[in-house]
A and B are shown apart, each in its own frame.
Chain A
Amino acid sequence: MTHSPAKRGAALRVAIAVATLAGAGVNLPARAGEVPSPGPVRDLYYGETLFQFYQDKHFDALTHLLVARDIGRVENHEAESELLLGGLYLHYGQHNRAEEIFDRLLTGEVSPTVRDRAWFYLGKVRYQRGLHDDALAAFARVAGALPESLEAELPMLKAQSLMAMGRFDAAAAVLDGWQGPDGWLPYARYNLGVAFVRLGRFDDGTRQLDRVGRSSAGSAELLDLRDKANLALGYAYLQQSLDGQARVALERVRLSSPFANKALLGVGWADAARHDFRAALTPWLELQDRDLLDSAVQESLLAIPYAYGQLEAHGSAAAGYQSALVAFDAEIGRLDRAIDSAGNGGLIGGLLKADDPDIGRWYWELDKLPDSDEARYLYHVIADHRFQEGLRNVRDLAALSTHLQEWRAKLAAFDDIVDTQREAYAGREPQFSAGLDRVDLPELRARRAALGARLDAIEASRDPAGLATATELDQWQRLTAIGADAGLADPGAADLRDRHRLLQGVLLWDLDREYKYRLWVQRRKLAETDQLLARAERGHDGAAKARRDTPAELDGFAVRISGIVPRIERMQLAIAQARGQQEERLQALAVETLREQRDRLATYRVQAQFALATIYDRAAASARVAPPSRSEVSR
């Protein structure tokens, strides 16, 4: 059986949808639940972290927050940033770090709101690590009201923990009557239905599953959930021999759904249970052309000849078993090759080669997967959560390695920058130092002080001439000199004396009139001088500091850069080693999963052979009793 890459991509998407959907009751609320509490941002860099976080760029958000905390840029959001940091570590799979942070928060002096949120997150860390008892203990410590999204998530997490521990009655008690956000209700109802059915409370369980199965779904995820509920409901009815109701539920599963194959198989079994084998053949024959990797399709290859057998069409039954044997053999052969390839690292290598190693872009471009028979087995492998966890580690490590590689290139540039700055400094230093040395700040300060004192004296003695312009001063001095001239005292110089007195009076009048304004102007100029002097002092201090510190700072940068380079190299080695171990583990998991597939097919093969032998035995026995009719032979 061969498939186009596009078709294979679709199949893999379906497989991932199955895996994702299985955890959807957890995943969907978890994402909303980690939103930090709303409120105005009081530190820009805290908001900047949120900007990354809200775009699901968790690595960037984590790095930015670590840097911001390190240099005191989020002091106004201390407790929130601690909670956010814990949440980001949790997202990034750093459970130990996350737990440390929440533990630390809980031992410190924090507000009851922060305390409740810390207990919630601590419970969630434990839940994600599978420590369900401890998770429930932490959830029980949540004393007050949580923010709305966390409040809604809490019962879901409690119920999941209880279900994981097999305490379905307690899980049902938590979920029953729960009024969560609209988008979450179908997940809760589905979980509740499962819990009830597992408890043997069939009516309660089917009621919940039926509600989900009939709900109007607005998203692809909810459509998948609805199909999944109908599938579970259908099989639950089949168990109770309610074949008609089973058929109705199973027929609600979309033909394009990841659950369609199992639904078609179930519809067939519902018909078969009513001994309507002709009707059962319709869904089963539809299945036989689908991908043989699906267990429902594999089973249909045995169910079809079984139905023919029940319809007394033994020839068709024998042919059906024979073609099943051929199909199983071919598939087992392909599986053997895939197992060999997986064992040699080909399968995983192919998967990782198609991956985008960039940080923050955790997706697979499924259509770009290697176009080989082996790739079609990936979806069975990927559906295993251990594989997903391991793959996530490999991808995280690959992304970190790429990231470090980028830093390594940047560090080379930083080194060049430091060298260039050092050269530039060395070139400018003599001129720079000479300039600095030329500036005599104490002398400037003394001149300013003298000016200030002079102005104070003028003001104290109210000396309008002290503020005269150069022309006025010249005129004043000349008039004073004339006044001191002995000739002016001559009795014949009365006219001159009058003119001198008049001119002196006019000048004094003018100076006195301008005095206040001029004093104000001078005071203002002095204040401006003070400002300029202060700026010059700051500039001078800065320049002097730069002259003193720059060489040491540049040396410091060079030391830091040269110290980081070997650390990057050591880490690259450690990453490569850890990645190798992870890949080996993935390889072993892939081989294990494929062997399970092979073993199941081998079992089916034995069953087909046995059924075929039984048909031949019966035919041989009846041939001994009576010769076959013409029609039987031709069939």
Chain B
Amino acid sequence: MPMHPLKIQLLAALLIAGFYSSLARPETAAADSAAGPEPAPALVADSVDSGTVDSEVQVLKDEVLDLNRELFLLEEELLFPANTQVAVFVSMDVGEFFDLDSVQLRIDDKPVSNYLYTEREVAALLRGGVHRIYLGNLKTGEHELTAVFTGQGPHTRDYRRGATLKVEKGIGAKFVELRISDRDSKQQPEFLVKEWE
């Protein structure tokens, strides 16, 4: 059976330390006793039994993941059917001129989301992640969507900016992207609202 990578590292390091320490010691009853590092035999690979259990666990996890996927689909279809579904996303690029704190979202003048971003989430946005800030239902017809972005703008000044879009909700699901982007020419952040099909 092969060795686990973590153990290989451990084995390499401990063998150096353990092996050399026993050689360096004077030959006394005390010194002859092994100096500590985990004994090598214990580092050798897993038993067959553990491999079987691991495979069984993998199969089971796979089944649960599959069921989980089905449940997600069921939840979305039941609670947010495609003919009324509206999803709003936040994305960000570069972020040199804007350090995002929060986004408030209103649809038809009703607040539907007020999201405060953690540092970790902002970092994920900057790396290309897209955050689904809102998932809800809207009737077909025209609706007004307003987003207010707060954070720190250029020169670490507090910054608050809004963007509005009128959207026509048809029969299919509607996706809207709120995009924060750097406008180099003006050294300012730019807030765009884009509809996706």
Contacts and interface: CB of A to CB of B under 8 A. Distances in A.
Interface of A: 19, 22-26, 35, 38-41, 44, 46-48, 50-55, 62-64, 66-67, 70-71, 92-97, 127-132, 160, 163-164, 191, 194-195, 197-198, 228, 231-232, 235-236, 238-239, 241, 246, 262, 265-266, 269-270, 272-273, 294-296, 298-299, 302-303, 305-306, 383-386, 388-390, 393, 396-397, 400, 403-404, 407, 410-411, 414, 417-418, 538-539, 542, 557, 560-561, 564, 567-568, 571, 574-575, 578, 581-582, 585, 592-593, 596, 600, 603-604, 607, 610-611, 614
Interface stretch (B33-41, B103-111, B145-153, B155-163): B33-41
A407 B61 contact: no
B17 A41 contact: no
A561 to B, nearest CB: 7
Name the prevailing secondary structure of the B interface residues. helix
A47 B89 contact: yes
B37 A164 contact: no
Given A265-B36, A295-B36, A386-B4, 13 more contacts: A93-B58, A96-B55, A130-B5, A235-B16, A235-B17, A235-B19, A238-B21, A241-B24, A389-B46, A418-B78, A560-B70, A578-B57, A585-B49
Given A273-B24, A585-B53, A70 B5 contact: no
B129 interface: yes
Which of B6, B31, B46, B171 has the most A CB atoms < 10 Å from its CB?
A: B6
A306 B27 CA distance: 11
30 contacts: A22-B6, A25-B9, A26-B5, A26-B9, A38-B128, A46-B130, A47-B91, A51-B121, A51-B124, A51-B130, A92-B61, A130-B5, A164-B8, A232-B13, A235-B20, A238-B24, A239-B23, A262-B36, A272-B26, A294-B36, A295-B35, A299-B36, A384-B42, A385-B4, A389-B4, A403-B68, A407-B68, A561-B74, A571-B60, A581-B53
Contacts, number: 288
B57 A54 contact: no
B46 to A, nearest CB: 6
Contacts of B55: 96
Contacts of B54: 389, 393
Contacts of B15: 198
A386 B74 CA distance: 38
A418 to B, nearest CB: 7
Contact of B17 (A262, A273, A538): A262
Contacts of B125: 51
Contacts of B36: 262, 265, 294-296, 298-299
B73 interface: yes
Contacts of A384: 38, 42
A311 to B, nearest CB: 13
A246 B21 CA distance: 11
Contacts of B77: 557
A561 B72 CA distance: 12
A238 B53 contact: no
Given A26-B9, A575-B60, A611-B30, A239 B24 contact: yes
B186 interface: no
B182 to A, nearest CB: 14
B185 interface: no
Contacts of A19: 6, 10
B6 A385 contact: yes
B83 interface: yes
Contacts of A414: 74-75, 78
Given A94-B62, A96-B58, A238-B20, A41 B130 contact: yes
Nearest to B91: A47
Contact of B124 (A25, A54, A63, A305): A54
Contacts of A39: 128
Sort chain B's interface into a size bin: 35 or more
Contacts of B73: 67, 70-71
Contact of B30 (A52, A55, A305): A305
A131 B1 CA distance: 9
Which of B4, B55, B64, B79 has the most A CB atoms < 10 Å from its CB?
A: B64
B39 A70 contact: no
Nearest to A22: B10
B166 interface: no
B16 to A, nearest CB: 4
B112 interface: no
A23 B2 contact: no
A510 B75 CA distance: 65
B70 A564 contact: yes
Contact of B21 (A35, A47, A48, A262): A262
Contacts of B57: 393, 396-397, 578, 582
B63 to A, nearest CB: 6
A26 B16 CA distance: 19
Interface in B95-144: 120-121, 123-125, 127-132, 140
Contacts of A66: 65-66, 68-69
Contacts of B65: 62-63, 66, 94
Contacts of B2: 129-132, 164
Contacts of B175: 44
A400 B63 CA distance: 11
B196 to A, nearest CB: 6
Contact of B23 (A191, A238, A265, A272): A238
A410 B75 contact: yes
B183 interface: no
Nearest to A610: B29
Given A54-B129, A417-B78, A385 B7 contact: yes
B143 to A, nearest CB: 15
A401 to B, nearest CB: 9
A63 B131 contact: no
A154 to B, nearest CB: 15
A44 B177 contact: yes
Interface in B153-196: 171, 175, 177, 196
Contacts of A294: 36
A233 B40 CA distance: 20
Contacts of B71: 407, 410-411, 564
Contacts of B196: 44
A266 B24 contact: yes
A131 B6 CA distance: 14
B35 A306 contact: no
